[in-house]
Amino acid sequence: MLTSVDPDLIRALGDPLRLKIVTLLARETLCTTHLIEETGAKQTNLSNHLKVLREAGLVETEPCGRFTYYRLKPEVLAGLSEQFAALAESARTAAGNKRACP
């Protein structure tokens, strides 16, 4: 179906800081300390955003001693990409379908 895109998943990516986190994680697996250095954000703030990303199913955590590593889940992003591609494709072919004025 076309209507299966999850708004919450998109919302999670709609925040600038979260988007930055995602792009950083797309390059390498990092723990919170690294993300604090890279983004300059406070630890609490970052932890909140990471929670959102976690609940959206975008990232996985991997405890490593006292540290917590965050890894992106490529399938989720790939799924999003496919759904947008499907929407684009549908929009392209349906460009001429114009419902009559009532």
Partner DNA sequence: CTTTCACATCACCACCCGCTGATACCAGCG
Partner DNA sequence: CGCTGGTATCAGCGGGTGGTGATGTGAAAG
Do the strands 67-72 and 59-64 form a parallel or antiparallel pair, or are they unpaired?
A: antiparallel
Of these, 21, 22, 45, 50, which contacts its own copies (CB under 8 A)? 22
What would the x/- binding string for its own copies be over residues 67 to 96, using CB under 8 A? x-x-xxxxx-xx-xxx-xx-xxxxxx-xxx
Residue type, 31: C
In a 3-state reduction of DSSP, which class is residue 89? Answer: helix
Quote the least distance from Cβ 39 to DNA, whole Å. Answer: 10
Q: Interface with its own copies includes 63 (CB under 8 A)?
A: no
Chain positions 9 to 48 lying near DNA, rule: CB under 7 A, are: 11, 15, 17, 31-33, 36, 41-45, 47-48
CB 50 → its own copies: shortest distance, Å?
16
Residue 8: Cβ within 10 Å count: 10
Q: What are phi and psi of 70, to 5 degrees?
A: -115, 135
